[in-house]
Structure 1
């Protein structure tokens, strides 16, 4: 058997085990891939003789990562947040790059290498920070918005860094500006070509492919577009990742955006995993262990500098002192794009291998600590600044202890329907869901949902499931429901538990596991489940029947609209029939800020406003004279394209 095949097979096996272990410990998967690379590298097992053999495949991972970043890039959001993005974000990147470059020059008297190190350390981890902010309910807070704004500009700053690093390696100090100007001209030409292709060719191409309803062809076309765009920029002497980013940005405005994201994600995740494995292979453990004091000192110093820079800039812009400190602390680490830039600098021989290993060591430790730091950011900041008043009011990340709220396990479409009916009756309830995107969207819309696995006893105890009198399992996954039932009954034997099921094939098994009542699927099943919930909470039966009848007479209008998650089917033929809910934060510079609803007229975009959340108060019935204010959270309902158009209109007009 081919030795290369065995190497890859063994490497993937180790990666699978490590990703499982790291995710169980709630650590980023990136760290698992880096650890797999370290194990495969020369300092541990040494079975991968030449990591450069996998460099090309790993580079494809970077290409798809930038393609995905382009798809998610929101120009309307960036414009609406321009004060924070181009004030706080630009200031942070420029000042931190300059400070870190100056410190690096004292250690390594080479301006080119120092500038690269400064740029690498100025970046933070978008993937890890955004995920942790979503899980801790901080994403829509003011500190969360500041953090997102800085990350947004950092993602933009990666693009010119991809251009500058190869130029620094090939140009002298005199010719660098000429080379940079020439590169910008070539980049502008590539942008014009790609934009023309994206406007006049790609929409027709994907429309014809979508008509065939062939998933394989859609996936192949997506990969082809990303790679052709990367190859085009490579021909012009620029980074392949730059072309992929531009291609993603073009397609991000098309109606195929959601399907493209879903199609590209498996390939991107696998290839990015291989990329981080190759980074781990290049980590010299001897260098890191002998310089561990510098690694730890560098991690602390980088974090303190970022905190001070962001806090100073934010306070000067009128932000609250405590929110400014927390936003700075959230961004203390080096990000995943830092690893990309380290790899690029190594490939063009701009950084010594030992310095690269130290940087990777700083990045690995920083990303490992990020979840813990963000969860305890308030406590750490209060200890750091020793404040006695104006305490930070963090959003609640665990269930309130008073009362016995109803538990809804699973916040998919049926779970959200139940939640709406319970809210109408002003009944206290909590939901648990394990889809991070759905939880993030729902939290932004003011829903009482928490991230976690409902089958774990520690999660159930965190929401006081042992005290609950009524629990609803709303996801249609019978084997998982059995596990959750057993976990629930081990801590609460007396609660009434209603279970949604696909059909009655496992009715006996679900009843034996502890279900009080099993209810079939479909929309009528969800109405039946709501009637049982309301009945058991003491609502009069006539009122229940009236509400159910009203829902039927309105063609289930109250049930339309749901928060999409990563598992939501985004096939083009289904997109036009879906009704999404999406929360939009009205920033200071947004078009809709200060406007009355009757002047905005979102109904012309086939989109309606379900509610407005202001200062943690949800306003459901807002009239045409209602005036939107800064930091309002508007909950939109409509088709995916209508919601995107409405968000763009609210932000930019």
Structure 2
């Protein structure tokens, strides 16, 4: 077996020094990750408990807690986005006080620690969607499938068309930036909406199933729209072949997952019965969920779509109830990381009108916010063939953009397709739709429950 020194001798001196430096910094990176997790868990628990006592969705408390510990207030949980460095992080300052480090070393530690937290947050949303898939009823999803498709298509088409046309007509924005901003309006954060639905006990209601089904389809459509506008921004023309492959892959992936469900269910139960050690149910389930998430990512869809499909498939197994209980402790550990980091990334300084470059963005943001809300709320009124359906709740459930909208803004900025005022406007729209949707969804379902009780 080769020793580390023997391997190092075969490397260039600069690479050897870099590898040695990274190895020396590994314990400090771990310290940074652990301290950040302590902050995230503490903020998550305090925020969710306060929200619960105020009769608000706990996820809203986690988002607000994330804002407080994030870039906007305390700067305890920040990421190297928008030019932030280790000098901006109080966690890095604490580590530097404990360990004498050069500025270059602390910057590398900051980047590495941020990447670890980001990966944990991604795992959190993957597990959340896996759990939501397990809690969803595939039969009921099939029953509301047509309605979900209608809601998704209208929820993409209306905001996109109204946003793009309005920016060009009222604000004289050029075509490609306007199209990019219009595309950002199409997103729906399935992670945030599904969490609120689960907390309200409405996940398995007809409204909940329509919202979840539409949000999944909306995610697929959003990825396709993003591919189109990114291609347009880069080359000035749309790569029809790339978009067609993406569309076919998305349809084949989702329908193939459901169709193969029956076969896999039998295999899963047989495997579980043969395994005799700890984790005989949960480990095979996670293998399947992660593999499906990998497939979704590999074909340029979202990993969360694969995890959701895995949950839907396993929902049909006899071990579903036991598996659901086993998943919850894992979700309790990782899902809060996702919601706190979403809040932590929300830079509320874009709302400050005293900053000159924000002012034009604020006017555009007001327009985008109105379109973002109205363009999704109208989706509730395209549902047909359903009596006593809460159309307002369906529309509000499609409103939050969350991390999906920030992805559009980030890619638009990186490609040079959007300028600073338009970027600010998109970020404001994302922040406000993300924070407004949970309490209003609670109100919409609360009114329904009250009406039912009075009836």
Which residue number in structure 1 is paired with residue 329 of structure 2? Answer: 266
Which residue number in structure 2 is paired with residue 60 of structure 1? Answer: 123
Say yes or no: does 1:358 pair with 2:433.
no
Does the 8 A contact of 2:231 with 2:237 survive in 1? no
Does the 8 A contact of 1:34 with 1:276 survive in 2? yes
Equivalents in 2 of 1:197, 1:85: separation in Å?
22
Gaps of 5+ in 1: 379-391, 398-615, 617-653
In structure 1, which of residues 154, 159, 163 is the aligned counterpart of residue 220 of structure 2? 159
How far the C-alpha of 1:187 sits from its partner, in A, is: 4.3
Does the 8 A contact of 2:365 with 2:425 survive in 1? no
SS in 2 for 1:61: helix
Which residue number in structure 1 is paired with residue 67 of structure 2? Answer: 38
What TM-score do the two structures reach when normalised by structure 1?
0.48
Which residue number in structure 2 is paired with residue 128 of structure 1? Answer: 196
How far the C-alpha of 1:99 sits from its partner, in A, is: 2.8
CA 1:301 to 1:111, structure 2 compared with 1: closer, same or farther past 3 Å? closer
How far the C-alpha of 1:358 sits from its partner, in A, is: 0.6
Say yes or no: does 1:6 pair with 2:61.
no
Equivalents in 2 of 1:50, 1:191: separation in Å?
33
Say yes or no: does 1:332 pair with 2:396.
yes
CA 1:348 to 1:309, structure 2 compared with 1: closer, same or farther past 3 Å? closer
User: May I ask how many residue pairs the two structures share in their alignment?
Assistant: 371
Q: Which has the larger radius of gyration?
A: 1
Say yes or no: does 1:23 pair with 2:27.
no
Say yes or no: does 1:176 pair with 2:239.
yes
Gaps of 5+ in 2: 1-27, 81-113
How far the C-alpha of 1:21 sits from its partner, in A, is: 0.8
Cα RMSD over matched residues?
4.1
CA 1:126 to 1:9, structure 2 compared with 1: closer, same or farther past 3 Å? closer
CA 1:215 to 1:118, structure 2 compared with 1: closer, same or farther past 3 Å? same
How far the C-alpha of 1:293 sits from its partner, in A, is: 7.6
How far the C-alpha of 1:189 sits from its partner, in A, is: 6.3
SS in 1 for 2:186: helix
CA 1:304 to 1:162, structure 2 compared with 1: closer, same or farther past 3 Å? closer
CA 1:182 to 1:272, structure 2 compared with 1: closer, same or farther past 3 Å? same
Which residue number in structure 2 is paired with residue 395 of structure 1? Answer: 452
Does the 8 A contact of 2:136 with 2:312 survive in 1? yes
Question: Larger RCO: Structure 1 or Structure 2 (Cα < 8 Å, ≥ 6 residues apart)?
Answer: 2
How far the C-alpha of 1:82 sits from its partner, in A, is: 5.2
Write out per-residue CA displacement over residues 377-420 of structure 1, whole angstroms, 9 at most, x where no aligned residue: 58xxxxxxxxxxxxx992116xxxxxxxxxxxxxxxxxxxxxxx
SS in 1 for 2:215: helix
State which drifts further: 154-163 or 99-108. 99-108
SS in 1 for 2:452: coil
Higher strand share: 1
CA 1:74 to 1:24, structure 2 compared with 1: closer, same or farther past 3 Å? same
Which residue number in structure 1 is paired with residue 283 of structure 2? Answer: 220
Equivalents in 1 of 2:167, 2:208: separation in Å?
26
What TM-score do the two structures reach when normalised by structure 2?
0.66
